[in-house]
Amino acid sequence: MALKALDVPPYRIQPLIAAINESSSTPTLLTSAQALGLEVYVGCSNGDLLRYALQAEDPTKPESYTLLSRQTLPNDKPIEEIRPAPSFSDPPAKVDPIEFCVIKRNNIALYSLRERLFFQKEIPLPQGATLARRIGRYVCVADKEFYNIIDLEDASLFPLLPLSQAFENTQPVKPFITVIDSFEFLALSFTETGTLGVFVNSNGEPVRGTLQWPSHPEAICLDYPYIATLLVNGTIEIHSVETQELVQVVPAPSSSPSLSPSVEGSLAQRLSLVACLNGYMVPSPQRSNKMRLKRVSLVRKPLPTLPHDEPESIEEKREVDDDEIADEKI
């Protein structure tokens, strides 16, 4: 797809943390991450949860993310995902029941949570499911071969499109399902010439044009109105959801002789894309430069003398002269 770059690119790559566990003797891998406000949380393969905060160690230096705490989960299991908790507040007087579904090996179990947990029903999944996303009463699930739409109220299932449309492909294809809004899914299907992204509503009908990638993405992230995808070669492509056009390409990181081997290795491999829905702070070197002290020379000039008020008439002039004579006598 041809690049139709915008005047101002939607995104800019900026490192937040130079290296993870650089001083640790045991090699660990970054398995998950999440940012919220002034803090970044990093999960590692050895079960370590690292908490970084944006602060300035020296007033003369720009702000940077510094390690504040480290917690280790039991059994040294890797932290696969980090989710920010919603805001803590007193619950409202009346709480609506929470309905959710559990994807099992061969079925979907529906539950409702009020004062107690209530089981509603089960819907069979003969082919199982490897990925699922829900919008209201509809669930888009992927099995080993197809994307499917399931109506939870009617307990009906119909196939949407295949995961792979390449006849000669024997490798398993990683499914991707993204919720665009309250009535729309995005599903990715591998083809012989690349990958297609198809927008469908809850009835399985196409609602927009298609997205195209030269290879099957490694990760996908929605930041409306843009879709960001990480490709195998390390590049990041940004598409517009509204126009389906490719608006930005972030090239893969290149090696730099000024970086240490550990830092260069961490930047050379992009693992995934993570959506931070509540936003986070990014240190700005331009702000630090603009806030530095600077000498300013002051131009000293004598103040101009103000002219004396002249009397407007002969009578006023006589009164002024009489006042001056009276002052001299006193």
Give the pLDDT mean for 239-260.
81
Secondary structure class of 100 (helix, strand, coil): strand
Range of the domain at 47: 14-86
Rounded Cα gap, residues 6 and 104, in angstroms: 44
Report the number of distinct structural domains present in the chain.
Answer: 1
Give the pLDDT mean for 56-79.
82
Residue 213: is its pLDDT beyond 60? yes
- 17 burial (CB, 10 Å; 0-12 / 13-18 / 19+) is middle
Residue 219: is its pLDDT beyond 80? yes
Residue 209 has a pLDDT of 93
Give the pLDDT mean for 192-202.
94
Give the pLDDT mean for 126-140.
93
Give the pLDDT mean for 260-278.
67
Confidence of residue 149 (pLDDT cuts 50, 70, 90): very high
DSSP state at residue 293: -
Q: What is the mean pLDDT of the chain?
A: 83
Rounded Cα gap, residues 158 and 79, in angstroms: 35
Q: Specify if 37 maps to a domain.
A: yes
Residue 290: is its pLDDT beyond 70? no
Confidence of residue 166 (pLDDT cuts 50, 70, 90): confident
The amino acid that residue 87 corresponds to is S
Instruction: Give the highest mean pLDDT range of 87-91, 182-186, 286-290.
Output: 182-186
Q: Which residues of 123-152 are buried (b: 16+ CB within 10 A; e: fewer)?
A: bebebebebbbbbeebbbbbbeebbbbbeb
Residue 289: is its pLDDT beyond 80? no
Q: Specify if 66 maps to a domain.
A: yes
Q: Which residues of 239-267 are buried (b: 16+ CB within 10 A; e: fewer)?
A: bbbeebbbbbebeebeeeeebeeeebebb
Q: Residue 216: which of 245, 188, 180, 247 has the closest Cα?
A: 188
Contact 108, 125 (CB under 8 A): yes
Residue 23: is its pLDDT beyond 90? no
User: Quick count: other Cβ atoms within 10 Å of Cβ 69?
Assistant: 10
Confidence of residue 1 (pLDDT cuts 50, 70, 90): low
Residue 119 has a pLDDT of 95
Give the pLDDT mean for 306-328.
57
Q: Specify if 2 maps to a domain.
A: no
Q: Specify if 28 maps to a domain.
A: yes
Contact 189, 162 (CB under 8 A): yes
Least confident of 41-50, 254-263, 302-311: 254-263
Confidence of residue 212 (pLDDT cuts 50, 70, 90): very high
Residue 262 has a pLDDT of 47
| Sign of the alpha-carbon torsion through 74, 79, 80, 84 | positive
The amino acid that residue 289 corresponds to is N
Q: Specify if 129 maps to a domain.
A: no
- Between 113 and 294, where is the model more confident? 113
Strand partners, 158: 149
Rounded Cα gap, residues 36 and 222, in angstroms: 17
Residue 3: is its pLDDT beyond 70? yes
Confidence of residue 263 (pLDDT cuts 50, 70, 90): very low
The first and second tokens of residue 171, run together, are 């490798």
Q: Specify if 136 maps to a domain.
A: no
Residue 233 has a pLDDT of 92
